[in-house]
Structure 1
Amino acid sequence: MIRKVKKEIRVIGFDDGTFKFKARGDKVILVGVVMKGSLDVIGVVTRWITIDGLDVTDAIIDAVTSSRFKDLRVILLKGITYAGFNIVDVERVYKETGLPIIVVIRKKPDITSMELALKKHFNDYEMRIRLLKSAGTPIELIPGKLYYQAIGISREKAEEVIRITSRNALIPEALRLAHMIASAVMTGESTRE
């Protein structure tokens, strides 16, 4: 439990690399950037995940629990769908790492459209829809521009963590850097967040 959010709070932010939607079963890099607040990069972890697979949850848990970074306080996720519809089980990540999770989203997700796509393309759509809904309803932080979901942390503390860990963008710096690194690995150069 976080009693006070310090300026140098240690966070890890995860994002995946660019991929082709028709490449189901191929691998995509998952990058976690460890930061102290919004200024100091402490380290980077990587794992490979399957497009439209079910392995992102295990990859995040492994990256956090087996890394040398033992003083992490919060896990930041750039959404809960990675590599297409490889959906994070946020409850399991929270339970197995003991760390609160803040899911940061730039656009409010269209859950109805996502459910329809899951029903159309996946035999296990019921389980994936359950995972999708497990993070709860997104909370609007910046009207029309930034939303978040908080697991294991209060709204007030989650919003404070987002503010403290953001610097030159709307999203926390660890997520911005994870996006840039992951896209560079997959395409040869970084893309803007």
Structure 2
Amino acid sequence: MKAGQRALGVAFSDAESVATCAGAVVRADRVVDGLAYERCTVGGDDATDAVVALVERIDRPDVSALLLAGVAPAWFNVLDLPRIHEETGLPTLAVSFEASPGLAPAIRAQFDGADRAWRLDTYESLPPRRSLSVNDERLFLRALGVDAPVADAADTDPADSGAAPPLAPNCEAAQLVRGFTPEGGRPKPLRVARIAARAGRELGARLTE
């Protein structure tokens, strides 16, 4: 991966009723190259709109991929990854950091009626979850617009938890995530976006005191 290749990382930080959505453009050589903010409703249905608006606001044609911190920010404000990929035109990868049996049981327990139905429909439309070993840590990702096949049996890590099939180690999605994760287990664009989202949330809270 070239040092100047850029990815946009997006993370959310929740306040009581509103979540701050931060986007960070980061180069593969770790240089932070841009920031932008949007907001969405905690427990609402507008996180997808916030991500699309953020990509439009940051307006960077040199960004080559979009990395999202999970698929259900702001208390199950589930992201519509196919729509985000279609409207932004960017390879789109949602990255999470813990093994999970899936969110459908929690959605069924927390919501009912139309609120439950759209969340389940959106969640079930997501691409399949894959696991990936990065710097001796394990990530889980869903990918659109980038090659993300399951590993051959011979390449499967015997230590895999079984929570998600392992990603082929040299595929395009794996190379992209590893290229933006020079250390630790969190891609640099997501690490910067998380810090920016928390700072934006804290500033917003002070301004409304």
State how far apart, in whole Å, the 2-side matches of 1:126 and 1:144 are. 34
Would the alpha carbon gap of residues 60 and 34 (structure 1) be closer, same or farther in structure 2, given more than 3 Å must change? same
Partner of 2:146: 153
State how far apart, in whole Å, the 2-side matches of 1:83 and 1:38 are. 30
Cα deviation, residue 178, structure 1: 0.9
* TM-score of the aligned structures, taking structure 2 as reference length: 0.78
State how far apart, in whole Å, the 2-side matches of 1:119 and 1:59 are. 24
Unmatched 5+ stretches in structure 2: 149-170, 204-209
State how far apart, in whole Å, the 2-side matches of 1:166 and 1:101 are. 16
State how far apart, in whole Å, the 2-side matches of 1:38 and 1:108 are. 29
Equivalent runs, 1:1-193 vs 2, <5 Å? 5-19=1-15, 23=16, 26-111=17-102, 114-122=103-111, 123-124=113-114, 125-142=116-133, 145-155=138-148, 156-187=171-202
Contact 1:7 1:164 in 2 (8 A): no
Letter in 2 for 1:16: F
Task: Return the index of the structure with the highest Cα Rg.
Answer: 2
List, as ranges, runs of 4+ consecutive aligned residues in structure 1 with deviation greater than 3 Å: none
Contact 2:137 2:184 in 1 (8 A): no
State how far apart, in whole Å, the 2-side matches of 1:66 and 1:182 are. 16
State how far apart, in whole Å, the 2-side matches of 1:8 and 1:41 are. 11
Identical positions, percent? 25
State how far apart, in whole Å, the 1-side matches of 2:60 and 2:95 are. 22
Would the alpha carbon gap of residues 173 and 144 (structure 1) be closer, same or farther in structure 2, given more than 3 Å must change? closer
**For 2:75, what is the secondary structure of its paired residue?**
coil
Letter in 2 for 1:186: R
* TM-score of the aligned structures, taking structure 1 as reference length: 0.84
State how far apart, in whole Å, the 2-side matches of 1:169 and 1:44 are. 22
Contact 1:11 1:74 in 2 (8 A): yes
Contact 2:137 2:185 in 1 (8 A): no
- Structure scoring higher RCO (CA < 8 A, sep ≥ 6) equals 1
How many aligned residue pairs are there?
A: 177
CA offsets, 1:56-96, max 9 Å, x none? Answer: 11111111123232221110011111111011100001111
Letter in 1 for 2:194: H
Cα deviation, residue 28, structure 1: 1.1
Contact 1:11 1:34 in 2 (8 A): yes
